[in-house]
Amino acid sequence: MGKTMVAVFFGLVILMAGASGAYAHQAGGVEIGDLETGSVVGQPFKELVVDGELFAVEIGNLKAWYPPVTVIDFKVRPGRPVVLKVTNSSTAEHGFQMTDATNVGSPFVMKAEVVLKPGETKYIGVPTSDMFYATQGNTLSYRCHLHPAHVGGKILMIK
């Protein structure tokens, strides 16, 4: 092999060795923060449209995340990151965990998790690629991971 061919071959080996094993669903990762300071894949939350608002509520003795189903139609929205606003409207601390319930055991599953104090609001930003590739189907589940008896809900993605 000539010097040029060796250099090209060596360059390809370095390029391949430097390639990441990361998958598309790890492109940006889930980001949790406040409206003013939070961002996802370099885009501030305050500049993005909120795709869904979820509330921890108490109705009598029932504690739940409301609404029970949130639909996001990806066919009619641009490819911008998904932003969810989660608010604890109850009088006690509650958790919020969103994941693909059928794929929860995978090391690559998308999982957003936060603990909210009474009255606290957080924003969760997720790259669209993570929403699509970290789930086996079209549904993500959300629930209170601190209190398993509380009623959770689902995000239905129309792809």
pLDDT digits 0-9 by tens, 64-94: 999 999 999 999 987 899 999 999 999 999 9
105 vs 1, residue with greater confidence: 105
Q: Is residue 2 part of a domain?
A: no
How many Å apart are CA 65 and CA 38, to the nearest integer?
23
Beta strands in the chain (DSSP E): 31-33, 39-40, 43-44, 52-59, 62-66, 69-73, 82-88, 94-99, 111-116, 121-126, 139-143, 153-158
pLDDT at 14 (0 to 100): 34
Residue 95 has pLDDT above 90, yes or no: yes
Position 6 in a domain: no
Examine residue 119 and state whether it is found in any structural domain, yes or no: yes
On whether residue 117 sits in a domain, the answer given is yes
- What is the domain extent for residue 104? 28-158
Residue 5 forms part of a structural domain: no
| Domain assignment present for 121 | yes
pLDDT at 147: 94
111: nearest Cα among 126, 128, 129: 126
Residue-wise pLDDT for 40-68, tens only, equals 999 999 999 999 999 999 999 999 999 99
| Residue 78 forms part of a structural domain | yes
CATH of the domain at 105: 2.60.40.420
Q: Indicate the pLDDT class of residue 1, thresholds 50, 70 and 90.
A: low
Whether residue 19 lies inside any domain: the answer is no
Indicate the number of domains in the chain: 1
| The model's pTM | 0.79
